[in-house]
Amino acid sequence: MKILVTGGAGFIGSNFVYYLLQNSEDDVVCVDALTYAGNLKTLDNALNHPRFKFYKADITDKATMEKIFADEKFDVVVNFAAESHVDRSIVNPTIFLTTNIIGTQILMDLSLKFNVKRYHQVSTDEVYGDLPLERKDLFFTENTPLHTSSPYSSSKAGADLLVQAYYRTYGLPMTISRCSNNYGPYHFPEKLIPLMIKNALENKKLPVYGKGENVRDWLHVSDHCKAIDLIIRKGRIGEVYNVGGHNERSNIEVVKAILKHLGKSEDLITYVEDRKGHDLRYAIDPTKIQSELGWKHTFQFEDGLKQTIEWYLDNQEWVESVTSGEYQHYYEQRYGK
Ligand code: NAD
Ligand code: DAU
């Protein structure tokens, strides 16, 4: 098969590229616009692989994307490309709507035009909104109504609705996965875990929003990649699959675990103004993907976190290269000097 991976120079997309090159015989083509979140250095170990090809292109640029689809004749399209950071969406929603919704529409139009056998949309548990902190018995299932909080999650929910409309109206052979928070190698240091590792290593303050009580359901990125791989090969067309490993932790627990692992003082923690509209708790019910496709998560959070911290310690050069440009400006705007 020939698989298009959009957003393959970002965090999860790059892990998926490596997953496919290691675990399949498929040809892998990556399209990425190389925004602030995408970095070719992330694909260093794929660029010379005989089954890998890279195009720098924007998924909202229809003419360029059409030429790529015509030349490559993909069997499968997996759409990771997105603006993905909630805090940035609160400051500038426009690019989120353009990339996440219009970009999805263009990829689906081209998938129909060039007879792609499966279009897979990588979505998020954030489309379900949040759950109360005190109701530990509640989980998101595939039937939980969409109920979004941020411009980011609204743009992802808008895209999901459009994907489902393309299935019903045009018969697009599609699937959607909605995953909980990922962590692991190549995670851009604007997100909680890599940001806290980076700051702790530099003895900088660790900015925790509000009281640090918000809960996220953490999944190692390799478990997410395995789930997407199963869905594109065996998932039923037209279906949504939730992906999560029942690893709920409050933010403050995560931050303290990072400091403990690095042997740093909790005095580095600073409580800062809360995120606007901050979702309280995410928690996925993964029963459907487990029972239908036999997916299971493999990483326990503590082991995965330890491995991730070690990856960052071993890959300081990568961290420096991805944070040398626009990141500095973003960091000062967001957190002050
Ligand atoms: P990321 O921000 O690390 O990577 C996004 C990639 O998309 C970057 O390489 C960027 O250059 C590229 N991109 C952005 N706009 C583009 C455009 N217009 N054309 C082509 N490429 C473009 O994001 P991520 O964390 O790897 O997330 C990937 C996908 O998974 C997103 O769709 C996100 O919504 C979803 N998701 C993420 C998580 C998570 O915890 N990170 C969890 C669930 C779902
Ligand atoms: O649930 C899946 C989603 O997870 C994905 O769809 C998003 O693309 C991804 O960014 C992530 O969203 P979150 O908003 O949950 O991730 P983030 O790492 O930004 O924040 C995790 C939690 O940590 C959240 O409660 C906010 C908090 N936080 C974050 C940052 C960046 C802080 O307390 N301090 C910070 O500096």
Residue 328 pLDDT: 83
The single residue listed with the structure tokens 């292109």 is 57
For 328, list phi and psi in degrees, rounded to 5: -60, -45
Per-residue confidence at 168, pLDDT binned at 50, 70, 90? very high
Residue 202, in any domain of the structure: no
Does position 337 have pLDDT exceeding 80, yes or no? no
Nearest atom of ligand 1 to the alpha carbon of 99: 18
Closest among 279, 299, 328 to 86, alpha carbons compared? 279
Residue 255 belongs to some domain of the structure = no
Cβ of 126 closer than 6 Å to ligand 2, yes or no, is yes
Q: Residue 304 domain-assigned?
A: no
Domain CATH for 131: 3.40.50.720
- Domain range for 88: 2-184+221-245+278-298
Flag whether 180 is in a domain: yes
User: Would you give the DSSP letter of residue 102?
Assistant: I
Asked whether the beta carbons of 179 and 227 are under 8 A apart, the reply is yes
| Structure token pair of residue 202 | 């530099």
**Residues across the chain:** 337
Residue 140 in tokens: 């998101």
**pLDDT on residue 241:** 99
3-state secondary structure 104-129: HHHHHHHHHHCCCCEEEEEEEHHHHC
Q: What is the pLDDT of residues 228-286, one digit of tens each?
A: 999 999 999 999 999 999 999 999 999 999 999 999 999 999 999 999 999 999 999 99
What span, in angstroms and rounded, lies between the C-alpha atoms of 205 and 203?
Answer: 7
Single-letter amino acid code for the residue at 226: K
- 75 burial type by CB count under 10 A (0-12 exposed, 13-18 middle, 19+ buried): middle
Closest CA to 219 of 257, 270, 180, 187: 180
Query: What is the 109 CA–ligand 2 centroid distance (Å)?
Result: 31
Answer yes or no: 126 catalytic: yes
Task: Say if 309 falls within a structural domain.
Answer: no
Q: Is the CB of 123 under 6 A from ligand 2?
A: no
Residue 83 is a catalytic residue: no
Q: Would you say residue 101 lies in a domain?
A: yes
pLDDT single digits (tens) 182-223: 999 999 999 999 999 999 999 999 999 999 999 999 999 999
Mean pLDDT of 290-300: 98
Is residue 14 in a domain?
yes
Q: How confident is the model at residue 326 (pLDDT cuts 50, 70, 90)?
A: confident
Catalytic-residue membership of 152: yes
Closest C-alpha among 336, 333, 337 to residue 90 = 333
End-to-end CA distance of the chain: 49
**Cβ-proximal residues to 319 (8 Å cutoff; 6+ apart), any chain:** 189, 194, 198, 312
pLDDT tens, position by position, 45-80: 999 999 999 999 999 999 999 999 999 999 999 999
Total domains present in the chain? 1
Report residue 275 as tokens: 């995120």
